[in-house]
Structure 1
């Protein structure tokens, strides 16, 4: 849920304060329902009414629309909206009735209070709907423009760096040498996987979204080629579960974390272990990657995207829909990522 900023709170508070002062200015002699500013009977009903009205406003703006309407559907939203409206209106009617005893100049009726309360609460319902939808529109438009500018500035570099040419050349050279020496099935499989990786990058890297299964296949192929390169010096423990064709993700957004594990977690002079786990449940993708922090002897060429770039992409593509946690613990470098797809 997108929270309200300090600046917005100040603006809202200022508007409410000014509005209450104007409503209760005795010289205006304003009457709202059964209460009047000229005799002072409007003061406390207007204060308690404003508090309740703002309860309607903020409940709709920051709970019902982002948490109920967008996640549970319009039917549940309407039901909860009606319950909220009736409950707060009832409280306001009871509160106003408590102030009638202090009012000497009118013979007020319950129906007048109900009508007045309903009108004001309905007004704040419409204000809340207009505020929330316009706020989200401006935020989304700003993000769309920012995303367009970012893509325009980085498109060429991204295309060039999705797979580092050195990685391709090194992999091809390794596979070629292996084919000369042994000609076994592993070599043919490695060449096939490298071909599929190249096809994936050239065909799909520029798309906004790709099937999650395709992205994971790319990761599996990358891991396979790196295991060929390092042979017995690296053990990769993978666990991919809950993946289905209906889930999609921004392309090449996970691979920098895998590359980092090989770049900083593999030393050909010792045994190394990398853990890569991905699970998807109810459109919630969970990623866990860990590697031992080893002495940096031989760097592994990477895609060139890097953590800063991928963090920026996550912020632009999945605002308020992801949680990235990178830390070191007990000699391990750990990446934990959750994305609402």
Structure 2
């Protein structure tokens, strides 16, 4: 039967318990009057020194707060010295411990007191420092190992993505030839439809560039908005009933970037789940660019009755992941909804150190 200690607390408790019996056995060889209770009190004091030093190093020294670490350790050693004095020579009723374990007489001598204090504190201080550096080295090793694993995973995913993209890629020239041929055939009879075919080709090119692994991962807000307007204009010809989506933009759209097809994903969700056919309550996409970043706010009424298309949240999860990849902690995304309405807010605020 194997005893498995899963948590760090269990391993520490087991160590100090084993150390208690070791401490008792070693010191009982030279002092037959030593009891297990006295040994337990002494080991608890040793553990107090160990954890006081370790946690001071962990929470202050590791973060560069050297002065605070020195002040705390100084205060601890002063209190520890006072405790040792009163246990050995004070009137706390612990002379029985002194007479049976620590000292042979209760007369105070600085040399004996300093010797006892240094022995009790230095050993476990050194032990705590050694354990702290062991934990730090282990943490650094685990972080490097995790970084290597993530890099290998990213490289593997990149190869898979490249293969998938290349295998599914349609050459733009072939697409251009097909659409140009259709435009020439249709233009004499239906110029509006021919223009729509040209817009569809431009939108397909935009999607192909966005999905190209070797392409840009970030484009200007102005380019993304132009693609969204092209998408909405095509949908106006596709949808049987007129829809109402207000697109409002303020600020300098040339200042900041965005992940390609982000706005198309948000607009696509409106066509799937929103009530966009009510003229009195149109859906809205507001893009506000400020000094440090921009905000995208989508607001709509929910489609009444049963949803015609199920919502799996895949599109929004992809948007969040791509934007977090580009902007990390500078990006945030929040949702507010009730039974009748839904709001989505994306914020990019560049914080410079």
The interval holding the TM-score normalised by the smaller chain is 0.5 to 0.7
- TM-score w.r.t. the length of structure 2 is 0.57
Match in the other structure for 2:244: 234
Match in the other structure for 2:19: 23
Match in the other structure for 1:293: 302
Which of 5, 11, 17 lines up with 2:7 in the alignment?
11
CA distance in 1: counterparts of 2:147 and 2:57, whole angstroms: 21
CA distance in 2: counterparts of 1:277 and 1:197, whole angstroms: 24
**Structure 2 residue 92 is the aligned partner of structure 1 residue 108:** no
Match in the other structure for 1:256: 265
CA contact (8 A) 2:46 2:120 kept: no
CA distance in 2: counterparts of 1:132 and 1:324, whole angstroms: 31
Which of 70, 89, 97 lines up with 2:73 in the alignment?
89
User: CA offsets per residue over residues 55-110 of structure 1, 9 Å max, x none?
Assistant: 346536xxx97xxxxxxxxxxx53x2x13432442343134224313244353256
Match in the other structure for 2:225: 220
**Structure 2 residue 284 is the aligned partner of structure 1 residue 274:** yes
CA distance in 2: counterparts of 1:264 and 1:233, whole angstroms: 13
Structure of greater relative contact order (alpha carbons < 8 Å, 6+ residues apart): 1
CA contact (8 A) 1:53 1:120 kept: no
- Structure label with greater radius of gyration: 2
Change (3 A) 1:306 1:199: closer
- Written as runs of structure 1 = structure 2, the 5 A alignment for 1:1-341 is 11-25=7-21, 26-29=24-27, 40=39, 42-56=42-56, 59=59, 77-78=63-64, 80=65, 82-101=66-85, 102-103=87-88, 104=98, 105=102, 106-108=112-114, 115-116=122-123, 119-153=126-160, 180-181=191-192, 195=202, 198=205, 201-202=208-209, 205-207=212-214, 210-211=217-218, 214-229=219-234, 230=236, 233-239=243-249, 251-252=260-261, 255-265=264-274, 267=276, 270=279, 272-277=282-287, 287-294=296-303, 306-307=315-316, 309-310=318-319, 324-329=333-338, 331-337=340-346
* SS of aligned partner of 1:59: helix
CA contact (8 A) 2:299 2:343 kept: yes
Backbone CA RMSD of aligned residues: 5.3
User: How many pairs align?
Assistant: 290
CA distance in 2: counterparts of 1:191 and 1:37, whole angstroms: 94
Match in the other structure for 2:95: none
CA distance in 2: counterparts of 1:270 and 1:92, whole angstroms: 72
CA distance in 2: counterparts of 1:278 and 1:129, whole angstroms: 45
* SS of aligned partner of 2:7: helix
Change (3 A) 1:24 1:249: farther
CA distance in 2: counterparts of 1:124 and 1:19, whole angstroms: 13
* SS of aligned partner of 2:342: strand
* SS of aligned partner of 1:335: strand
CA distance in 2: counterparts of 1:241 and 1:112, whole angstroms: 70
Return 5+ residue gaps in structure 1 as ranges. 1-8, 31-35, 66-76
